[in-house]
Amino acid sequence: MKNKTHVIFVLLFAFFFAYFVYEAREWRLQARLYPYVIGIPMLVLALIYAFLELTGKSKVKTSASDGAPVDFQFTQNQDPALARARTINIFSWIFGFFAAIWLFGFSFSIAALLFFYLKFQGREGWVLSIVLTTAGWLCFWALFIRLLNLPFPDGQLLVWLGLAG
């Protein structure tokens, strides 16, 4: 075993997916399908990787100099202030999206985030932002709402205002 942090990280993922699958056990079949299809294979793969890493049979190179594009490595050629600003920026988008989902609901928030990200972060024009947002939301609606008939909870603001349906 060359690197204990890999094992700890993978075991955290295994714990997450085990909990993911465990919580879905009493859901109806349609709702349980997604956690099972994603969670069970990920749990098995994480446990296999941890076992191979612990027994020393893993063929994964853990040195930072092998140049594999999937290895996590802090940047060494960026200004730390710029890297910090970019990190704060993306985490702000992520947490803002979570807050919007909670407040307004997922169906509205997906379109809003897509538009605002294209317009303000991507600095795209109004027409392109509106067209891509409309196309993205229509794909979301067609797949998840129309085809799969997945229920998304209403946003908390709609519940507070009594507009939740």
My answer on whether 50 and 8 are in the same domain is: yes
My answer on whether 57 and 83 are in the same domain is: no
Q: Domain total for the chain?
A: 2
Instruction: Compute the chain's Rg from CA coordinates.
Output: 21
- Would the pTM count as exceeding 0.75? no
**Structural domain containing residue 116:** 79-165
Determine contact, residues 112/104, Cβ cutoff 8 Å: yes
**Each residue's pLDDT tens digit in the chain (165 positions)?**
556 788 888 999 999 999 989 998 888 888 888 889 999 999 999 999 889 888 887 665 555 555 555 555 556 777 888 888 988 999 999 999 999 999 998 889 999 999 999 999 999 999 999 999 999 999 999 998 888 888 888 889 988 998 876
Amino acid (one-letter) located at 121: Q
My answer on whether 104 and 141 are in the same domain is: yes
My answer on whether 93 and 164 are in the same domain is: yes
Answer positive or negative: Cα dihedral of 115, 119, 125, 126: positive
